Amino acid sequence: MTHKQGVRFELAPDSDQAVSMGRHCGLSRVVENFCLETVRKKWAQRKAEESYGITGDDLTKVPWSAPALEKEWRAAHAERYPWFAEGKLSSRIPKEACRVRAAGFSNYLKSKQGKRKGAKVGFPGWRKRKDGSRFRYDADRAKPLDSNTVRLPAIGDVTTCEDMSWLTSRMATGEARVLGATVREQAGRWWVSFQIEVDRDGVNKRRQVSHDAPACGIDLGLKTFAVIRDSDGTRREIDAPKPLKAALRALRKANRKLSKSKEGSKNRGKARRRVSRIHLRVADRRKDFLHKTTTELTRTKSAIAVETLHVKGMVKNRRLSRAISDAGFGEFVRQLEYKADWYGSRIWKADRWFPSSKTCGDCKWINQGLVLSDRVWVCPGCGVHHDRDDNAAGNLLAAMLADPNF
């Protein structure tokens, strides 16, 4: 059975290749902004025509789709952007930039019409340099040549800092194929991310969770990242590294230097890269912790009960928003879900309003007066002393085991 997944490798381009990749990032940004400008103008024109009483086929057509946006780009770039043809840039980059914009417009329209689940999606905005440098190739235009080399059209063969044998060996046997590739720059470093379709059956079978592995309930929190209660009675706590909190002092110092540097100077560029490196290190530490924790859990637990957290609403609390964002609760649950599918574990998600912390694990009395600062409490019904997080994890586990549909 094939799975779609992403794999990322760091690149080690030479100076000419880095310049060329930077130019392609600029091209992608220009095309995306051209698409947005075109849609805005034609949409405004259509609205004006409707106000004049024009109807039907006489109205200006708005190019919402990727093929329509590509047609607009091909018609305009020779006159507006002559450097595109002269600069030996890949023709695949504008094609993918148009697809990215078309997807953004589609998400906006579906959200507006109520056809898209989740939070409301706003109208796409302008791409800016500070939003990040990236560009995409479609299909297998960009692909690994060997375990340490990637071929990028119009750029050349770029060496990687990491070994790609896991991917290249499977491509050689037909177990994997590249569906697309994204090249991205951050803090002066370059990465290529391959979107692949791969047969993981062999890997997943070797790493399958044991049939006699215990089930568990997981309560997520800020003081202790996760309290885990197993069905065999064992209890465990996992503490998060809190990478943003650890880097705040260095980040404040770097931001002060950035704010005091002269606009457009070389020192400002150095200061900006210093801030970017700190943010990159924070993100990498958090990602490393989440991947290691979720992999270990899904390979050692037969079933996992978790809460359904409304993270977007939680971060509106100004006192806790930074700590909540630093923890990465949403990414933790997302990784649990797809890794459980890989390794044969199961995920049970409690209802958002399930009172896991307020319910007494012994007599099921609900403590409606429990507040966030109450870390321990005594049940007036049966007199049992409860640790808030441990009690919540036990209640999640019990609810999962009692669910007849699970």
Residues taking part in catalysis = 219, 307, 389
Type of residue found at 40: R
End-to-end CA distance of the chain: 24
> Rounded CA gap, 73 and 67, in Å?
10
Strand-strand pairing, 149-152 and 156-159 = antiparallel
Type of residue found at 235: R
> Rounded CA gap, 224 and 289, in Å?
14
**Degrees to nearest 5, angle at CA 392 with 390 and 395:** 110
3-state secondary structure string across the chain: CEEEEEEEEEECCCHHHHHHHHHHHHHHHHHHHHHHHHHHHHHHHHHHHHHCCCCHHHCCCCCCCHHHHHHHHHHHHHHHCCHHHHCCCCCHHHHHHHHHHHHHHHHHHHHHCCCCCCCCCCCCCCCCHHHCEEEEEECCCCEEEECCEEEECCCEEEEECCCCHHHHHHHHCCCEEEEEEEEEEECCEEEEEEEEEEECHHHHHHCCCCCCCCEEEEEECCCCCEEEEECCCCEEEECCCCHHHHHHHHHHHHHHHHHHCCCCCHHHHHHHHHHHHHHHHHHHHHHHHHHHHHHHHHCCCCEEEECCCCHHHHCCCCCCHHHHHHHCHHHHHHHHHHHHHHHCCEEEECCCCCCCCCECCCCCCECCCCCCCCCEEECCCCCCEEEHHHHHHHHHHHHHHHCCCC
Closest CA to 366 of 346, 325, 395: 395
List CB contacts of 263: < 8 A, sequence separation 6 or more.
none
List CB contacts of 79: < 8 A, sequence separation 6 or more.
none
